[in-house]
Amino acid sequence: MNNNIPDLIAHEIPIMESFYTIQGEGFHAGKPAYFIRTGGCDVGCHWCDVKASWEAKSHPKFSVSTLVKMANEYPAKIVVITGGEPLMYDLSPLTRLLKASDKNTHIETSGVYPLTGNWDWICFSPKKFKNPREVFYECSDELKLVIYHKSDLDWAIEHSKKMNPNAKWLLQPEWSKQEEILPLIIAFVKENPGWAISLQTHKFMNIP
């Protein structure tokens, strides 16, 4: 354990935005949560809806103590660290302080960087553009695949075969292709009941 508390709380991370909202997608959809979106990503999803997050140098750095103070202004227990790709950074100091504030730590990651931090929930969302690390199949609580093309359903099955037995499996239509892809996902889930559907409900509700 790092006993150097000043260094711990001064640790800085590039942040695109942070906000209080309702979790819009995945297994915990519908729950209030404070989101911290890191800046920086090199995975390169062409359909990404937060491309403004990609360039880390475009975003100011915040100390973890400041981020935790901001999260503590709201009553939600869940704090979601997302991106960008949040695991480009060592998240151990941030999660340690969040835990000390009695927050539940959730992360959304593509799994391409080493896992750091202490997590109550890991949402693993691998992408075709960069291979994930094997450890995420073992430790993740949720496998969430964004489906852009019909062939992605076979790709999703291959990922599910590697997951630990306790993980939830979810398929989510890419937003711009939802009308085309959602009927395929519905039919797939009806034939493969180990899966569930994730929708970007925050976009229907017009919230961040």
**Would you list the domain boundaries of the chain?**
5-204
Per-position b or e across 161-197, b if 16+ CB within 10 A of its CB: eebeeebbbbbbbbeeebeebbebbeebbeeeeebbe
Reference 129, options 108, 110, 149; nearest CA is 110
**Is the separation of the CB atoms in 45 and 32 below 8 Å?**
no
Pairing of strands 195-197, 168-173: parallel
pLDDT attached to residue 1: 44
Residues of the chain with pLDDT under 50: 1-2
- What's the pTM value of the predicted model, to 2 decimals? 0.94
Per-position b or e across 110-137, b if 16+ CB within 10 A of its CB: bbbbebbbebbbbbbbbbeebebbeebb
Return the CATH fold of 5-204.
TIM Barrel (3.20.20)
